[in-house]
Amino acid sequence: MYTPGDNPQLTGRFAPSPTGPLHMGSLLSALASFLDIKQRGGQWFVRLDDLDPPRQDPAADTQIIASLNVHGLIGDRHNSPDIDYQSDHQIRYAAALSRVQSHLFYCNCSRRSLAGKRIYPGTCRERTAWQTDCAVRLRVDDAEVVFQDELQGSYTYNMASELGDFIVQRRDGLWAYNFAAAVDDGQDVTHVLRGEDLLHVTAQQIYVMQLLELEPPQYAHLPVLCFADGTKLSKQTHAPALNNQNPSVNLRTALLYLGQNPPVEPAWTVSRWLEWGLSNWRMDRIPKRLESYAEST
Ligand code: GLU
Q: Is residue 151 part of a domain?
A: no
Rounded Cα–Cα distance for residues 50 and 57 (Å): 10
Rounded Cα–Cα distance for residues 204 and 70 (Å): 34
Q: What is the mean pLDDT of the chain?
A: 95
Q: Is the CB of 15 under 6 A from ligand 1?
A: yes
Q: Is residue 138 part of a domain?
A: no
Q: How confident is the model over 93-103, as a mean pLDDT? A: 98
When comparing pLDDT for 77 and 124, which is higher? 124
Q: Is residue 211 part of a domain?
A: yes
Rounded Cα–Cα distance for residues 260 and 80 (Å): 33
Q: Is residue 295 part of a domain?
A: yes
Domain count, the chain: 1
Report the predicted TM-score, pTM, of the whole model to 2 decimal places: 0.95
Q: What is the pLDDT of residue 82?
A: 78
Residue from 174, 177, 179, 236 to probe ligand 1 pocket by mutation (most atoms less than 8 Å from CB):
177
When comparing pLDDT for 151 and 295, which is higher? 151
pLDDT at 175 over 50: yes
CATH number for 286: 3.40.50.620
Instruction: Provide, rounded to the nearest whole percent, the portion of the chain with pLDDT above 70.
Output: 97
When comparing pLDDT for 21 and 3, which is higher? 21
Q: Is residue 131 part of a domain?
A: no
Q: How confident is the model over 196-223, as a mean pLDDT? A: 98
Give the residue, by CA position, lying nearest to ligand 1 atom 8.
Answer: 15
Q: Is the CB of 24 under 6 A from ligand 1?
A: no
Q: pLDDT tens-digit profile of 32-58?
A: 999 999 999 999 999 999 999 999 999
DSSP assignments along 196-254, one per residue: GGGGGGHHHHHHHHHHTTPPPPEEEEEPPPB-TTSPBPSTTTTPPBP-TT-HHHHHHHH
Please give the backbone phi and psi of residue 72, each rounded to the nearest 5 degrees, phi first.
75, 10
Q: How close is the Cα of 160 to the center of ligand 1, in Å?
A: 24
Segments forming the whole domain that contains residue 199: 1-100+186-297
pLDDT at 78 over 70: no
Rounded Cα–Cα distance for residues 37 and 43 (Å): 6
Radius of gyration of the chain from Cα atoms?
20
Q: What is the pLDDT of residue 1?
A: 47
Least confident range from 75-89, 118-132, 152-166, 261-275: namely 75-89
Q: Is residue 132 part of a domain?
A: no
Q: Is residue 106 part of a domain?
A: no
Q: Is residue 129 part of a domain?
A: no
